[in-house]
Structure 1
Amino acid sequence: MRIGLLTDGGYPYTTGESRLWCDRLVRGLARHEFDIFALSRSREQEERGLIELPPHVRRVRTAPLWAAPEHHHAGRGRTARGYGRRERREFAAHFGHLATALCTEGTDTPGVADGFAEGLYGLAGLAREHGGLGGELRSEAAVRILEAACRAPGANRAVRAARVPDHLAFAGLLERALRPLSLDWYGDDALGAADLSHATSGGSAALPGLLAKRFCGVPLLVTEYGVQLRAQYLASGRLASPVRALQAGFQRRLAAEVYARAELVTPGNTHARRWQERCGADRAKLRTVYPGMSADRFHAVGEGAYGGDPHTLVWVGRIEPAKDLVALLHAFAEVRRADPEARLRLVSVPAEGGEDAGYLAHCRALAAQLFPDEAAGAHAVGDNPVSFEELGGPEAPDLADAYAAGAVVVLSSVVEGFPLSLVEAMFCGRATVSTDTGAVVEVIGGTGLVVPPRNPRALADACLSLLHDPERRARLGAAARARALELFTVEQNIAAFRGIYLELMSHNPVHRESAGRADAPRPFAHPAEAHVPGRWAAPTAARVPNTTGPTPSWAGGPLAVLMRERLDRRDRLDPRDRLDIAEEGAGA
């Protein structure tokens, strides 16, 4: 099977969120062929290059979403040949439908979804016939159409307040988001030749899959481990209010169209599934597939080779405001009063950006304030009840060693998607205390303690209850490890997608080469035995004589060989024995 893997800002580049799980998926399904169609998010990402790919990856096509339209690399997009009057009228009509749909208030307004789809696919068809849309989407005509849509009856109140600078800003964002419409990926020599498109996220990554289905009939599978719509909402927080409303309208309509056209949508957890259902996804199309994580590196810890300090709490993650380390430090102050031997190890990846570094500095200052006497002059682990450590340094602990150092692993987040650190702790057989946010309860099940977020007192009580009860810690840790090994391994993830690929192809048995012909595609055009290696698939010179019509499709197969052998055998026999051979053939 040939899979067109659609990525956005990750695989096959050496950086990006989807790099690890996509690489594991591709390597785990080595019997399929993969064509990768990747959207890059920055010049730095492209300059760092691609990871080493396995031999069954046939080709890699990339396109940037960060560069100006005129700076596209050769061969990645279609250059506009210059729009004439007729093409400009078509663009105005299609863009008008799109703009009206994303400015309209409410998601249930009749005709809005159809208007968005009509505008989107109309623009895609225009780009396919006449070249890229970049210049037209940034033109004065596009800004005027957008301004009219914002002021039309039924428009969202937030977008009515938009002014010319807001229209210009959103036009730039929209051009980048719609850049996949102008790519040359949709012919029989690219995505149109795939048996299945697999978008590894919603949003822009799924746009090529929508067009491949529209133009070439390629079925679409969408996987979302982090809901793209939610990520866009969070990322647009610094935009002006009208621009933010326009951006939200576009992303909401695009998500609804993706969910409506996809054959199957695989959220990574129930939290993501609820978002998708609210965006209009059909429940019958939703199937949860948990992310696959490697358990090998945690095997020694999980099997009990490292007991861990029974008085130590461990936190692992990225230090940022959403992790709410302030509440954790206040909770640990309560723990320390009840258990003077208790310690807290905060193990993080290196801070990225000024905001993360500033929050880290704030947490260090708070720890020094909460434990002034003990923190004075203390730097080594063990001298200070609270230690800040980073992974990756020359003296830093390995990830497995970090979990092995303590008896209880803590998560204190107020915003969380799929809690990877909790799954790692479960692989290590550690009891956990977590806040009830995101997919935490779904991941933990009944194998850990869960408390409300932003509640240091409840967090402290839960930690103390486990620190003072080693038998309960052992029971919860063993149950957590068993649950993680059953649900969250790479093997279960690959097995799930292997079955999904075969299931989708069984429901969409269209022979790809015939999709663009005038005659209708033929289901199961190539019989299964044609793909079996060896003499069963090899053509043979032997042919059954056929004087009444065209050569039948089985004429070169094993049955023809058998019949030819019987005919040759009959010719060598005495005429009196030929009757027996004829009767034998009739009985067969």
Structure 2
Amino acid sequence: MRVGLLTESGCPYVNGETRLWCDRLVRGLAQHEFDIYALSRGEEQEAHGRVELPPQVGRVRTAPLWTVDDEALRAARPRGRRGRRTRRRFDEHFAELAEAVCRGDRDAMADRFGNALYGLAELARTEGGLVGALRSESAVRTLERACRAPGALRAAHTARVPDLLAAAGLMERALRPLSLDWYGPDALGAADLCHATSGGPAALPGLLAKHFAGVPLLVTEYGVQLRAHHLAAGDTDLSAPTRALLASFHGLLAAEVYRGATVITPGNAHARRWQERCGADRAKLRTVHPGMEADRFTEIGEGGYDDFAAAPDTLLWVGRVEPAKDLISLLHAFGEIHARVPAARLRIVGAPAEGAEAEAYLAHCRALAARLFPDEAPGAHAIGDNPVSFEEIGGPDVPGLADAYASAGVVVLSSVVEGFPISLVEAMFCGRATVSTDVGAVVEVIGGTGLVVPPRNPRALAEACVALLRDPERCARLGAAARARALELFTVEQNIAAFRSIYLDIVSHCPVRRDAVDETGDPVPFAHPAEAYVPGRWAVATGGAAGGGTGSGPGATAEVSVSVPSWAVTEGVPVGDRFKGAAV
């Protein structure tokens, strides 16, 4: 089958968030053909280039979400001067969308938002895009009227012109896929299935492909896009009215994506709960855990704890250094741990800090460690000089992740916000006992093979770590159970097998019906026999009396698929009796 893979800030870019998972999926399902449709978030991402794609990827089409004025769209799809009728249609559709956004009632406004969205999509298809119209003065005035209307959100009532301009601009970026030429028979219209690797704008092309061409949509979310938007909004300098309007908009867009999707595959129960609260039908949800490479941890995992007797008292933290990881609580907890287990060591291993905020947070953590352990060579970074060390992956002491886990007796996760805890799964592959905070999908991943404590509670974190450091046999038992669980649930192989089954299930239940044409574009008569459209199989006599027997020769019966239109079903008369003996 032909699959349209829809990404945002992911494959085929080198530094895409879902690049590695998409690459494994495409290579693992080599029997299918893939076309990649990617939305990029920034100039820096595009400047880093793209990865080398496998031969089963036929075409790659990209579009930016970060440009203020999309020159690529203007060059690709020239626009003429819009007439009065076109402007009136746009005003009607955008007014309906603005009303739904400003009211903020997802359940009551879902239908109006969907009607407006598809109305704008059809207008964009005939008029060559709506980038300018969505940023126009007319659109801003329409949004302002909706904010001032009775029943609008309280925060929307206070929106000023700068707030409205910011909201309209960011909404246009999210709606940029409406203006793309990706929905014809030479693009997504030719796909058998659209697979969006996240919700939000990435799934919008899939919704439009379903609307225009009937292509079924599969939505995979390992980190719920709406949740990510809410978390990111708190770190911006947007005003409260702007944040309220954008939260309402993205909530309605998420609900429409879930309503239009044929199947939704959350990566864990935490994401599943978010999707259900945002209106996803429980019958559409199928949890598929992310797949990770287990081979690079095999040697360590199968070695157990015998090879690590030299460092049984080492606690290891692995991840990206940022405030959400709450290293402050971990350092305070380790102060108590070190007082009770003087031989204990804490290794903080992270990727190189990127950005001023990450560097400032890392400097703050280093300073705190120096204050907590002033008599033990503060500021030292080598193991043995100080009970706390800060190291980078790829450095002399940590050439790779496997080397970090090999030195640990217990792996610690101290986050206050977490989606799917990758470092925790890596520790499980290595057969390590773990202590984690109860956030995100941690409990689902651990499943009883590690200790879980409340977040932002240094004392509870310290108690759990001390309990494991003083009981090596318990560590070994938990580590063995953790490795067995990880190999069963979180490998690349189980992930690919799950999507192979889901692809076939979707296409078998929702095949795309296309008109067959010849080389000149004329329809081919009788290209689709009636039997191809109707489910059901029953025996029909090919000679002699109906139901006369099986096999070949006179009176034999043969099973065929028979088309039964809805008008042919009469109440009280079995369908099989009415068609018995009919020639097919």
State the TM-score, normalizing by the size of structure 1: 0.86
Runs of 4+ in 1 over 6 A off after TM superposition: 515-521, 523-527
- In structure 1, the partner of 2:494 is 492
Call closer, same or farther: CA 1:376–1:509 in 2, change over 3 Å: closer
Q: 1:333 aligns with which of 315, 322, 335?
A: 335
- In structure 1, the partner of 2:423 is 421
Larger radius of gyration: 1
1:67 aligns with 2:67: yes
Q: Secondary structure of the equivalent of 1:189? A: coil
Residue 375 of structure 1 deviates from its aligned partner by 2.6
- In structure 1, the partner of 2:53 is 53
- In structure 1, the partner of 2:261 is 262
- In structure 2, the partner of 1:18 is 18
- In structure 2, the partner of 1:183 is 180
Q: Secondary structure of the equivalent of 1:221? A: strand
Structure 1: runs of 5 or more not aligned = 528-588
Is the Cα contact below 8 Å between 1:91 and 1:126 reproduced in 2? yes
In 2, the alpha carbon distance for the partners of 1:80 and 1:322 equals: 46
In 2, the alpha carbon distance for the partners of 1:104 and 1:421 equals: 41
Call closer, same or farther: CA 1:496–1:132 in 2, change over 3 Å: same
Call closer, same or farther: CA 1:520–1:128 in 2, change over 3 Å: farther
- In structure 2, the partner of 1:135 is 132
Is the Cα contact below 8 Å between 1:348 and 1:391 reproduced in 2? yes
In 1, the alpha carbon distance for the partners of 2:362 and 2:529 equals: 59
Q: Which amino acid aligns with 1:284?
A: A
1:169 aligns with 2:166: yes
Q: Which amino acid aligns with 1:396?
A: V
In 2, the alpha carbon distance for the partners of 1:458 and 1:79 equals: 63
In 2, the alpha carbon distance for the partners of 1:430 and 1:339 equals: 19
CA displacement 1:48-75 (0-9 Å, x = unmatched): 2211111110110111111233422677
Call closer, same or farther: CA 1:175–1:339 in 2, change over 3 Å: same
Residue 185 of structure 1 deviates from its aligned partner by 0.3
Where do residues 28-43 of structure 1 align in structure 2 (5 Å cutoff)?
28-43=28-43
State the TM-score, normalizing by the size of structure 2: 0.87
In 1, the alpha carbon distance for the partners of 2:526 and 2:254 equals: 30
Residue 468 of structure 1 deviates from its aligned partner by 0.7
- In structure 1, the partner of 2:300 is 301
Q: Which amino acid aligns with 1:138?
A: R
- In structure 1, the partner of 2:360 is 358
Q: Secondary structure of the equivalent of 1:294? A: coil
Residue 524 of structure 1 deviates from its aligned partner by 9.4
CA displacement 1:299-337 (0-9 Å, x = unmatched): 111011742511100000011111111110111111111
CA displacement 1:493-546 (0-9 Å, x = unmatched): 00000000000011012344559999999589989xxxxxxxxxxxxxxxxxxx
Residue 174 of structure 1 deviates from its aligned partner by 1.2
Q: Secondary structure of the equivalent of 1:406? A: coil
CA displacement 1:441-476 (0-9 Å, x = unmatched): 000001000011111111111001111111110000
Call closer, same or farther: CA 1:368–1:503 in 2, change over 3 Å: same
1:373 aligns with 2:372: no
In 1, the alpha carbon distance for the partners of 2:137 and 2:466 equals: 64
Call closer, same or farther: CA 1:525–1:344 in 2, change over 3 Å: farther
Call closer, same or farther: CA 1:458–1:69 in 2, change over 3 Å: same
Residue 25 of structure 1 deviates from its aligned partner by 0.2
Aligned-pair identity in percent equals: 71
In 2, the alpha carbon distance for the partners of 1:504 and 1:261 equals: 14
Is the Cα contact below 8 Å between 1:509 and 1:523 reproduced in 2? no
Is the Cα contact below 8 Å between 1:510 and 1:523 reproduced in 2? no
CA displacement 1:200-245 (0-9 Å, x = unmatched): 0000000000000000000000000000001111122221100001
In 2, the alpha carbon distance for the partners of 1:295 and 1:105 equals: 44
In 1, the alpha carbon distance for the partners of 2:529 and 2:302 equals: 51
Structure 2: runs of 5 or more not aligned = 534-584
How many correspondences in the alignment? 524
Q: Which amino acid aligns with 1:130?
A: E
- In structure 2, the partner of 1:552 is none
Call closer, same or farther: CA 1:140–1:517 in 2, change over 3 Å: farther
Q: Secondary structure of the equivalent of 1:375? A: coil
- In structure 1, the partner of 2:448 is 446
Q: Which amino acid aligns with 1:64?
A: P
CA displacement 1:262-313 (0-9 Å, x = unmatched): 0000000000001000000000001100000001111111011742511100
Call closer, same or farther: CA 1:16–1:58 in 2, change over 3 Å: same
Q: Which amino acid aligns with 1:465?
A: A
CA displacement 1:356-397 (0-9 Å, x = unmatched): 111100000000000000134744211110000001235533
- In structure 2, the partner of 1:538 is none
Is the Cα contact below 8 Å between 2:381 and 2:391 reproduced in 1? no
Call closer, same or farther: CA 1:473–1:191 in 2, change over 3 Å: same
Q: Secondary structure of the equivalent of 1:198? A: strand
RMSD of the alignment, in Å? 2.0
Q: Secondary structure of the equivalent of 1:372? A: coil
In 2, the alpha carbon distance for the partners of 1:247 and 1:478 equals: 46
- In structure 2, the partner of 1:431 is 433
Is the Cα contact below 8 Å between 1:101 and 1:115 reproduced in 2? yes
